[in-house]
Structure 1
């Protein structure tokens, strides 16, 4: 009977919150024993903190799950508890992805900042950090920068947020640690004339010379990215839909931004790529609907575009939005097939683009080669990838077109030229800007 009764109480306890279970332990010694069961507290740790082993917030093992839970509660007692669990899960997912897919960048992530360091940031910059951002920094203090003796940053490709390359524009965005938030914000405020200088802190930027900066507005919790007009007119664009911030209790743009980044990492929307000997997180989408695919006569073309806020001019009338696009071309393993004939190679000769804004054709582009190159394709080889850009006087548009290929090669053609379709891909102001 005692066992049956104890089992029933245990089942009831499993349905209670951790707070209620702790209160029940005060009833008497028997309830205290039942409420100290390791299975019970391991469930609380798993459900609320995603802990699979009893460790404290610094990763040190504890004797029991109950002790681990207690230390987590004490360490984050000043914050809303659900927000602590949500922030931890966000960082856990980001860290697990980088550890598995980009360990070099994972190695740059710093341990969490202390309460004293965050309070010092607030005092130095005369701001009050939104609670979600403060908690996020408690779990991870941004990224470590390697610098030479002159203070120049090394390893510019390890940015947690990632980037893109086209022409001479090289972008790779790092998440700033607290000390760089302080130094970077003070430096930027000396250069920029923000309407309210005390609102903004710089939380992320590309360490290349491209001039891409992300600012958190500490008053309303929104995250902004600078445009081409940042220096002269402080023009910025919001990085997270305003409706999400206003509709979600105790949430700010930093948390929403990093959660969306985590989703894109885990669902394969963005991936690590290699440029020569350099690896980096590429922000060009790899999956539909923002990445389109077409196959013509064995030639496969994938295409996607991304907004380039730092080269977008919002002062023009109408505004000028810059989009970069990535084209990936490959020949399927079966080779080039035209009218039942098989060819073991084909070579690009020319291109044709139709650029559309608000459902109206604004430009038709014809020309030889792509960025001055005539890629020669062979079956099953890696994609030939090139990036270019196009301005658009609208927040919504698209590009579609075709390539002209020659079977065989340009110096030794095996047949007549043929068209290869490039499926329409969108140029659209995104909900989230990275």
Structure 2
């Protein structure tokens, strides 16, 4: 009978850890975390070698900062993941690391989306500012910023201003209504303050009609209403139940209204609920449109190959809450598209002109019509194959209850710059008017 194998003896002077095989030792060091690994590396040359592996520090970088390459803050290349971790910890070690990772991933994702779909907006983003610059700003403001907001400015200090020609490049999106255009830009820290208050202005439209304010005491985000200039009336942009400014085991990491607002905006962009669209004004050739383009937030209908998309957006700058009764204001848009030629009465047409728009608006027990008739033939909007036509809607002031809009469009087939067929009707399927949880 063979005798049992003798246990391998530990080298004289070696610790229990040093005597472990490579795989168990790597697992132990990984469980110890970055600080534990750094401490073990000081114990002996054997542990130093085991705690300096690139795979180990790659994992630490990804777990704590979401890093997939050895880059310092600002995207400067570094020799190793261990150097990258050290650089990031030196820059952000004063904060809990989970919020740092969350904000870093948000800005990386937002920049990636802008790079692919809206590079005009990407090039307006400013660089992040330092902790010292934030401290100076807080001193000048006489306020202490919520932690999530500080981190947001550490990665991006709002949008740069290039002048009037950049009016449409607000990355928070906007909408057009008749001859009014609202596009919201993120502002640099302390770019605009509200004297004798706890508020800082974090975003606003180019012409200043629409303004977003962060309450630095409770972390809530607000937007000015119709009576902002006269009475400083505001309304919340983010559900207050989601806001928390401290980090604990029961409720998770801190999040203020500014961070939640930005994350929700990015989610809508990534999900395709809102998109970059073209409009009828050359100065605003492309912009992020806040009119929803997905069900159930919009309606879709098709007739004779003509597709009709209709939706509404809440307009806080035109809403009033001190009036009795309180009023919510909405703008609605109708977009027509013609993918290919259409057949009417046995004849093919490749374009049409819009004669009129008829809508029925219902809010609670109130029902009222909206009719828009267009002018002479030469002034009527026309649409050709492969194009999209934006039809301006109206402003709807309604009580604080959900509502809906439905209707139809009168169109005339068009050929050789002349009407060639009988008028036809394209339905506008019902689309909702609903007070939103998030306001943009």
Common topology (TM > 0.5) = yes
Q: Is 2:64 the counterpart of 1:48?
A: yes
The answer to whether 1:423 aligns with 2:429 is yes
Specify which of 381, 405, 424 is matched with residue 399 of structure 1.
Answer: 405
- Determine which of 343, 346, 356 is the counterpart of 1:337: 343
> Does the 8 Å CA contact 1:145/1:154 hold for their aligned counterparts?
no
- Kept in 1, the 8 Å contact 2:339–2:387? The answer is no
Deviation, structure 1 residue 314: 1.5
Contact 1:404 1:419 in 2 (8 A): yes
Residue matched to 1:234: 232
* 1:11-63: CA deviation from partner (whole Å, max 9, x where unpaired): 45445643444455455432332121101111221233222221211322222
Deviations 1:204-235 (A, max 9, x none): 111225x1111000011010000011122211
Q: Distance in 2 between matches of 1:258 and 1:216?
A: 13
Match of residue 374, structure 2, among 350, 369, 374: 369
Distance in 1 separating the partners of 2:57 and 2:231:
54
Match of 2:299 among 292, 297, 310: 292
Superposition RMSD in Å = 2.6
The corresponding residue for 2:104 is 88
Q: Is the 8 A contact 2:111 2:122 kept in 1?
A: yes
After the TM superposition, which of the residue ranges 347-356 and 82-91 deviates more from structure 2? 347-356
Residue 309 (str. 1) matches residue 308 (str. 2): no
Residues 13 and 248 from structure 1, CA distance in 2 versus in 1: closer, same or farther, beyond 3 angstroms?
Answer: closer
Q: CA deviation at 1:408?
A: 4.2
Q: Distance in 2 between matches of 1:104 and 1:411?
A: 38
The structure with the largest alpha-carbon Rg is 2
Q: Distance in 1 between matches of 2:133 and 2:396?
A: 43
Give yes or no for the alignment of 1:167 onto 2:178.
Answer: yes
Q: 1:145 to 1:97 in 2, by over 3 A?
A: same
Q: Who is 1:193 aligned against?
A: none
Provide the residue aligned with 2:198 in structure 1.
199
The one of 324, 330, 347 aligned to 2:353: 347
Counterpart for residue 390 of structure 2: 385
Alignment check: 8 A CA contact 1:205 1:213 kept: yes
What CA distance in whole angstroms lies between the structure 2 residues aligned with 1:418 and 1:53?
59
Q: Which residue of 2 aligns with 1:414?
A: 421
Q: 250, 263, 268: which one pairs with 1:264?
A: 268
* Partner SS, residue 390 of structure 2: strand
How has the CA–CA distance of structure 1 residues 18 and 395 changed in structure 2, closer, same or farther, with 3 Å as cutoff?
farther
2:71 aligned with 1:71: no
Aligned partners of 2:398 and 2:307: how far apart in 1?
A: 26
- From 97, 120, 133, give the equivalent of 1:117: 133
Q: CA deviation at 1:6?
A: 0.2
1:150 — aligned with what? none
CA distance in 1, matches of 2:293, 2:335: 10
* 1:104-156 alpha-carbon deviations (Å, 9 max, x no partner): 22111111111122112211111110000001101111111135xxxxx5522
Q: Partners of 1:344 and 1:145 in 2: how far apart?
A: 42
Structure 1 runs not aligned, ≥5 long = 148-152, 190-196
Listed as ranges, the gaps of 5+ residues in structure 2 are 1-7, 9-17, 245-250
Question: Runs (4+) of structure 1 moved beyond 6 Å?
Answer: 1-4
Per mean C-alpha deviation after superposition, the further-off stretch among 33-42 and 282-291 is: 282-291
Deviations 1:221-274 (A, max 9, x none): 010000011122211111111111146541101111111111122222222223
| Structure 1 partner of 2:241 | 243
What is the aligned residue count?
A: 412
* SS of corresponding position for 2:310: strand
